[in-house]
Amino acid sequence: LISLAELSEKEVHDILERAVFWASQKDHELPESLKSLSKPIVCNLFFEPSTRTRFSFEVAAKKLNLHVLNFDYKSSSAQKGETFYDTIRTLESMGVGIAIVRSSEEYLLSEIADKIKTTSLINAGAGMSEHPTQALLDMLTIKEEFGSFKGLKVSIIGDVKHSRVARSSLHALHRFGAKVSLCGPDIFIPDNSAFPFKMDVLDLETALNSADIVMLLRIQNERHNISLGHYREQFGLTSSRVQLMQPHARIMHPAPFNRGVEIDDELVESERSLIFKQVANGVAVRMAVLERAFNLK
C-alpha cells in the first residue's frame, strides 16, 4: 500500500469493514490463513520519528500473531552507505513478508516497488506526499461518528501545505463525497492547482461554523524554517472559538498535537474531540492493512 489512489472504492470499504471487525474482537481466533502463513514477519523501517504509526503497526502485527522486527537506522548498514533498495532486498532475502516504511523522501517506495517481488511494502508516511493508513483511520473514525462521507463538510485548518496527512485525507474524503475546505496562514495554504479538484479557502470563523468536522494540523517545523508567532491567537482552536462550531461538529487531529498552539489543552480530551479515538482506530485499520498485504482474506 504505497498510495491511497491505488485502492478502488470497494477496496477502501473492504479495509474499513475489516477494521470494524478487528476493532470488535477482544480475544479473537486468528483466521486459518494467518495461522498457515509462510512468511509471518513484518519489519518497521522508520527513517523519521513516530509514536502512533510505528507502535500501532507493531501492536496490530502482534495482535495478528506476526513477528515484528524494528529496524534501527542509526545502528544499521545504511550508516555504511547501503542503499534503501539494498536494505529492502536484504530483508526480502531473509524472508520478511512486509516492510513498513516511513521516510522523508516522497518516492522511495514507488521507485523500488517493481523490483521487490515477495515483500509487501506499506507506506507509513512519505515526506509531504502521502500517509495512507492515517487517511484510512481518519475515514474509519468519521464513518463511525457520522455514518457516511457524502455531503459532510470538513475544514482542514493549519499547515496544509507541508502535511502528508492533509494530502492523503483530503483526496480520500473528496473521493467519497465530502466537501473539503482549507483554512490557515496564507503561507501554509497550497496552490489549488496542486489538486485535481477545487477547494475553498475559508476565514477561521467560517471554517469553524460551517464544518461537521474540524481537522486541525500541527505546524510541520521539521519541513521548513517558517517561524510564526501568535499562531494560537490567529488560527488556534481556543476554548472560546470552539463555541463557533455547530453542536454536532467534531474535532480531529492526526497528532502529535501541540497543546496551547493549534488546540487548547482542555479541548484535546473534550467530548467533541475524536483525537484518541483516531489513535485507537489506527490499530484496527493497520490490522486490516497488514492482513490485506498478506492477501489473507
> Does 50 participate in binding ligand CP (rule CB under 6 A)?
yes
Q: At its nearest, how many Å lie between ligand CP and the CB of residue 164?
A: 8
**C-beta of 192: minimal distance to ligand CP in Å?**
25
132 vs 254, beta carbon nearer ligand CP: 254
Q: What sections of 26-175 are H helices per DSSP?
A: 32-35, 52-63, 84-94, 108-112, 132-146, 164-175
Q: Identify residue 265 by its one-letter amino acid code.
A: D
Question: Given candidates 41, 61, 108, 255, which one binds ligand CP under the rule CB under 6 A?
Answer: 255
Q: Does 52 bind ligand CP (CB under 6 A)?
A: yes
Query: CB-based burial of residue 77 (10 Å sphere; 0-12 exposed, 13-18 middle, 19+ buried)?
Result: exposed
Rounded distance, CA 255 to CA 259, Å? 10
> Is position 95 an interface residue for ligand CP (rule: CB under 6 A)?
no
Stretch that binds ligand CP, among 44-52, 80-88, 211-219, 263-271 (CB under 6 A): 44-52
The yes or no reply on residue 158 touching ligand CP (CB under 6 A) is no
What is the smallest separation between the CB atom of 129 and ligand CP, expressed in angstroms? Answer: 13
Pick the piece of the chain touching ligand CP (CB under 6 A) from 50-58, 59-67, 91-99, 205-213.
50-58
The site for ligand CP, by CB under 6 A, has a size of 9
What's phi and psi for 82, nearest 5 deg? -65, 135
How many angstroms separate the first and last alpha carbons of the chain? 16
Minimum distance of ligand CP from residue 249's CB (angstroms): 21
Say if CB 146 and CB 121 are below 8 A apart: no
Nearer to ligand CP (CB atom), residue 231 or residue 257: 257
Separation of alpha carbons 206 and 211, rounded Å: 8
Q: Can you tell me which of 125, 127, 158, 190 binds ligand CP, judged by CB under 6 A?
A: 125
* Torsion on CA atoms 280, 285, 291, 295, rounded to nearest 10: 180
Residues that bind ligand CP (CB under 6 A): 50-53, 125, 134, 254-256
